[in-house]
Structures are given as C-alpha cells and as structure tokens.
Structure 1
C-alpha cells in the first residue's frame, strides 16, 4: 500500500482510505449482527425465510434493534473523526518520506505583468536562500493550446499516412490545398462534422485552418501571470513563506503592514506568495485565468449540474407513476450517462491544477449519484413499498456493478481487438494501446456513494454494512489491478482531493443519522409484496423537521430511544457543519486578510539537486492522442533530468522550428514561458581539457575552457582523454 503512494500522494491516500473504510463498515456490520439475525428469525417474521440472499435481515427499527443502530452511528462518527486525523498524519508521513519539488518551491500569484525575466526574480528571492529554478508562466495559454492542437492534427496525419512518403509531405504543405478525386458522400461528410470518418484531406484542411491561427497568435507579446521558484534547500522555501505570506486583500491593495518596502517586489508589489502544487498537477494552459473568472465559470457549471439533476428527478418521478420498472431502468441509465456529461462539463472549466479540477468533478458526480441512488428513490417511492424484495435488491446490486465494468474495460477491448487490427499504420495501431483514461475523482465518488447508501438505509437494511464492506475490498483490488494493468499512468497528485472528500464523509454520516430516526422508516416492515405492521403506519405528521417525532404506537422505551436519537442527530449535524464547513469558511475569511503558513514536518536537510528523479516546473501540455506531454519552453536553459518523463524531448517540444517555421529562434523563445536552472556552487565543477585541434588550421583552439554544471542526482562518468571531452549534460 505504501508503494502506491509513488503514483502520487492523492492516489496513495485513496487506496489507504478505501481499505480503512472497508474495515469500519465491516465492524459496523458486526455490531448489527444480532439485529440481522433477529430480522431473519421467526420471532420477528415468519416471512423472512422465504426471502433469499442478502435481502434477509432487513426490517423496521424496533426496541430490540434501535439501540444497536444508535451505537453503530456513534461508533462511525468517532471512527470517521479518527480516520480524518489519521489521514492527515498519513499524508504528512508520505509527504516527508519522499522529497518532491513542492517541498522546495513557492508560487507568486500576482507578479508584475512585465516581470518576465527569471534573473530578476532570482535576485529578489535569493535573500532567503539559493534559488535553483525560476519559471515565469506567461499568459500564453491559448497560444500553447492552439500549438498543441496543431501537433495533434499533425499526429493524426502521421497515423493516416504512416508518417512518411510523398502523401504525408503533400498533406503537410499548408500553402497548397488538397482536393479529393471523388466528391465526399453525404453520410461521410455528416460523420466528419462530428469528428468521425476522418481522412487525409480532412486533416489537411484542419491543419491549414489552425496554422493560420498560430501565425496570428505568434505576433502577440505575452505577459507574466504566475512565477514558480524552487530553492536549493527546504529552509529557503520556509523562510520565504514565513516572511512573505500575506492575505489576498492586502496583496491586491498593496498595503500589508507585515511586508516592508525592502520585501516588496520592485519596492511596490506586495506579492501573494504560497506553496504550489506538484509540477505534474499544474495546468499550464489555464495559468492566466483570474479568480473571478474561474468562480463565475464554476458556479455556472454547478448550477447547470443542479438543473440536470432536477430534470433527472422529474423523469424518475414521472416514470415511477407509470411503472417502477421504467423508473429503475432510467436510474441505471442516468447513473451512467450523467457522470459522462458532467465530465465533459468539468473538462471545459479552467482550473489552475488537475487536483482542483478533480475536486470540482467529485462534487458534481456526488451530487448526481447521491440524488439518483438515495434521495429521489426515497422521496418518490410509496412508503409501503420501500422495503419490498425488489427495492432492497436495487440498493445492494449497485455496489458491485462498477468493479465488473472496470475489469471488463469495454472501451479498451474495443481499441485492442477491433480498432487496432484495422489501423493503416504501425503508429496508429500503437495509439490504441496507450491505456484507458480514468479520473481519481470518479473513484472517490463511487466509494462515497457506496458508503452513503449503506448509511442512508442502515436502520432498515443493516446487512448493507457487510455488502458495502465487501464492495470496498473488491474495489480496492480491482482498482489496484486497473492502476497497474489497464489504466494510463496518472500524473502525481497531492492530497487536495482527499481533503475535499472529507466534507462529503461528514455529510453522509449526518444524513444517515437523520434518516435512521424518521418515523416512516420506523413503521415499515418487509415482505414479498405487502408491508407488515400496517396498523402502525398511520401516525401524526409533523412539518417541523427539528421536532422529535414519535408514533402513538411506540412503547415508552422506543420513544426514549427516538428522542435520544433525534437529539444526537441534531448535535451531530451541528458538529459536522462546524467542523467541515464552518472551519473552512472561517479560515477562508481569515486568509483573505492575514494569510496563513504552517510548515509540515521537519526539514530533511537534503538539497534539491541531490534528490533523484525530482521534477522542475517545466511548462507542458498533455494531448490524449500523444503518449508524452508536449513541452512549451526553451530547453536550453534547464536541466533535462528534471523533466517528469524521459524520451526525445526535442521532438515533443513546441518551441521548435517545425511548429513555428516562420519565426526566428530569438523571437520564438519569447513566446514561451521561460524555465531557467541556476546551478549552485556546491553542484558545479569546472572541467578543463586540452583544446582540440582545428581541422582546418591544425592549431589549438584558445576558447576551450568549459565550465559544466553537473547535477549530483545523476551520476556521470566524464572521460577526459587526449583532445576529446565527452560530456552528456545540458
């Protein structure tokens, strides 16, 4: 389990959480074992033996069972609280055990727009320690995305033509249009408008269009939007954050009393300095989008999601009036289609990091799944039919559907066994074996949905704890197999999305405690089709949700328990709201004016350059059809060992003559965010060798003194022999 953290802190914590939650649910099921046995026995109902499988052991909350359910909720409340603290400690342990670029770095959120020179930023931040890297993110996101789209079109042409030959050369000539020998059939023209049935001529026209866009955008002068600084020592980062951290409002108004004039950039700018996300999480295309723009965009997307959920609820309600079978069928379809639509909506949002985008996706998918799986069904279902055998089966079967679909990997099988053999070239066939895409947010949402359903119906279906626990362990191994065998390797993620899931954990526990005490649930029985205890179904209705609701038919012990349960549910809801929502709101307001910086763990005393395989903040953009990210910076001023992947970097670099053939190199590099490596004296060595003879004059060269920066995290054997000095270093 610890090794799974090497895929990123967020991925490691996901597997840790799913295993621990599975154990908690199994413990909750064990506590309710007596309740399940009682519901199965003839003492409760002689109709229970006629029901098969997991549907046995579900019924009303009576005086024999209510106390156990109450104890279970309290146990889960305490266990989830401890799990939250344990996860924080686990995240800190994982973070300290592996040195990453984040441990040495800071980000400037509001740089001067004309401050695009890395040397100027290095000089400013060097007062806190040696600066090893400076990356100035320009507001060139649209330009980079357009270049990446152009490269994707070129890649599609390579797949269609094999990447060589006169046809490929002809297709790459954008100054001369290509024509078809025969007119395109209507059906094929229609398919091409939706991105299907593409051919060489289709991609050639796309290449002509986007090349014109690139030429128009290549004359723009771009400005600084963010600055990433990496210190050689962790102490440098911590000193910087302790000295310069301030609130958002003082940074906007340039009026912080904490920051002296000497610590203002250019003596005027109160910088908004924070600890950044990991390099692999940065979305370099979206760095120039403002906080206000992103807030409006994400609020609109959330509102649109709520409208979709409302429409889905109306359809479920309408179909339930006609036939419950239609309603169940639509719920299954909705749970499959709506998350896909939501992923498309979230993909259009402009988040600064992948973790932020995953958290946005998590919130929307949870909204859909909780509503479809529990709330809507509970609201529209006639109370006497709430615990029919068909309904209980519907509650439990959903937990095992997703693991089966993940293992089947139907899109992957289609690519491997149908599309790949039909490929026209080796390159195109290889493109079908890149691995299936996946979202960590979707994995979290499915886990939370299973837990939510188990808690929501725990009072009437205690066996759901065991079903949910089994689902957790099955999902753990299925997800682990998919991570190592089926899915595309994800970029490393921080624990941001794990922290974002905790409010949902608290919310589902609070909701479960409230639903456990509702009198409608407390008065229902189970049978093959008719309810038990129908004499108790008629009870006084209260419209005040905070009033303790008891039935006239309850015994004194039951009324005491329901009253205790109601008070506990209210107190628990208040505690959860204060802990998960009030705390965040209070800190958000505090950070607006003061900011906050709290170091995690102790420094390790390891230099940035001494950490093996450590990354730098190298601007890049990912395209699904291309196996490696496309680099978007001048590679001559950085150490290529600090790029997050290995391969032909020059081939995957957008700052090249092949992508921008009409622009000179000195003008081309100004269009891209500069990333500069400043090597410290401790990691620099001077190599002197005998100057080689000039093959024309046979004279010794007088300008052969080379000072070569050698990173100590990559051992190099430098051979100095005679007149040659082979050195493989940037």
Structure 2
C-alpha cells in the first residue's frame, strides 16, 4: 500500500505541520485490522471522502498509527534499524500531542532474552508489537502482576494436569481394555478409557420403588405375575453393571493421583509466591522499596525518629520518611487562603504591593468609593474589601490551627533496596488482632 503521509498539527497550536514517523511501519508488523483498513481506504464505499486524511491533517492512517503506537503495548526492538524521522527535534516544538514520547522507564532493566516495554508513543527507538504467540512468559509481568501470575499459574496447572493424567494412565488402559468392558463398544471416542461400563444385566430388585427412579427409568423395569393364591404381583428388576471397577490396582492409582494433586497444590502456592516476587522486581516502582504503617503511635510525628528507629533496629538505610497527620482543617484553610490571594491578585493593579497593610488600605479606599451598584455587585461577586476581610479571618484561623498538636495517622518509609523492605515487613509482621489493638509487646 502506497503511504500517503498526512501532516500532523504541532502540539502547541502553532501553524506548522510535521510528518508522522509511524506511517512507514513494515506491513507485516501491523495488526490485521490496520492492514485491512489500508487496503480498503482506496474505495469510496469505505472512505466516502475520497481522501486519506481530513482537513485537520489527521485521518485513517494516522488514527491506526496512533492506536498501534500509543494504545497497544510494544517493546523496544534492538534488531530493527533506526527509522528515519523517528525522533522529534528540539526545534520541532515538542511534536504533536499523540507523538509526544516521554523518556523510557529508567527502572526497567533489560536482561538477556528479555523484552523492554516501550513507553506509549515511543519514537526515538524502533518498537514492535508484542506477539500473541511468541511473547515469553517472563514478560507477562509487563502487563501487570495479575496478568503475569495468571499465565504462570495456567502453565503450572496444565503441567500438573498432564502429570496427573500420566499417573492415571494404568487406569485408562484398564478401563479401555476388554477385561473391563469388552473394549467399550459404541462409546464416544472422547469417553474411551473412562469408567463408563457397557456390560449390564437385569437383576431382581424387590426393594426398588419406581418413584425413586424418575430420572433413570431406563434402568428399572417391572413385570406382573400371578401368585399361587391367584393374586397379581409386580416383580421389580434393575439394570446392574457387571464391570469390575473397584479393584486394588485402580484404588492405588487413584490414591497416588490424589496424593500428587495435594503435593502439587502446595508446590503451586510456593511457585506463585516466587513468581510474584519475580514479576514485582521486573517492574520497579517506589512501592517496591516502601512500607506503610497504618497505626503509628499518636505522638510519633517526627520523621527523624522513624528514620533512626529503622536504621538502629534493622541496620538498613532509610532514604526518605513521611509522616501524615490529621491536620485537615489547617490544610483546607491554607488552600482557601491561597485561592483568596489568587483572586485578589487578579483584581488589583499589576505591580501593586500585596502585603497585609497595603491590601487593607486599598480595600478601605474601594469600599469608601463604592456606590449602590457596587454594593449590589459585591453581594453577587466578592470584591477587594470582601476578599481582604476573608483573608484576615483565614490568617487568624491558620495561626490558631498551626499552634495545635496533631496526631500521626500514617507513616511512609522508603528504603535503599527491595530486600531491606521485605526483611522489615517480615520482621514486623503481626496478627490482625494485635495490629488492631496496637499492642507494643507483640
């Protein structure tokens, strides 16, 4: 398909246009949807406008390129040659919005055989779409811990099922032999080797009531006879399987399979925990190095005390520590004061002093000159006098709130390595009841 390149509007709205670097992707590297769309874009019934882009310079080709490079996951391909125009120059005004590519994730470490996931819109390095068939299992963690753990567990369960089936192979061969049920004639191929029995005989069953066999009437029958006394008597018969399935060998194989499943379940739990750590280490975030203490002592509000505690008790290096306190009223008052100051700055003349004394003097002059119309307007939209009054009230409120003592609510500590974080979590782990009671003797 001939690539007709539509221009792309610059990100900052300047009337300059850039060429999309993603329109020359190899045809075989595109999704099937994009291939079909590019094939059909020459037909008017598919593209009624008859052109490949709209009046803004963005059209079908650019939309598919944006979808594949900014929405679908891609990885850095070291084997591909550098693509022309793959980077946005310093003089290009940052490029268009959807071509903007932030720097690569510095935390991700590329190891031999691993794929390094590209950032959305990556244009400085050649990228390729993840393959649905050949993407290694070790890379599934790039799509989230849950996705990686799901496919790892799926593979482990498939292996467990295969081994359990091999252990059951003697039973399968026995059930499919002529010794058990004469090679199971007229049985579906998928049911061959199961415990399905095809050899049955009718036997007397005087204690079998018909009303208890409503769902299997084909396995019970009756006939009427005459007793020596001349009375009618109904004789019940039931269909009985003659296959010998309860043998010692069958029981031993079943017990062996059950024992293997129990051991495999325990091993699967350990395997999942190991994969969680492995996938977690591949994706480096601040959470991997940090802990959260949700029930700290109320008076432990100094970060330096927490830093000294962890370093002296566990011998670790605490990179940073943050203590949150319940000063919601103070924060709200500060935010409101900032908003009031912003409104005052918009109303006063540029270059005018914004200190408390100057604002009070300016507010007094405005209020003194205010007429009836100005007074009515101030009731609808606060003017300088009202804003200055509110600012004075907020300043006094903040001074009072700042003198209060606040209790600690949560503590966040970040350590130098992940192993330090895991060791501290392991050492400080307590039961839920102890944590709820905040017992210091646990």
Length-normalised TM-score, structure 2: 0.34
Indicate the structure with greater helix content: 1
- Which of the pair is proportionally richer in strand? 2
Name which one, 1 or 2, has greater alpha-carbon Rg.
Answer: 2
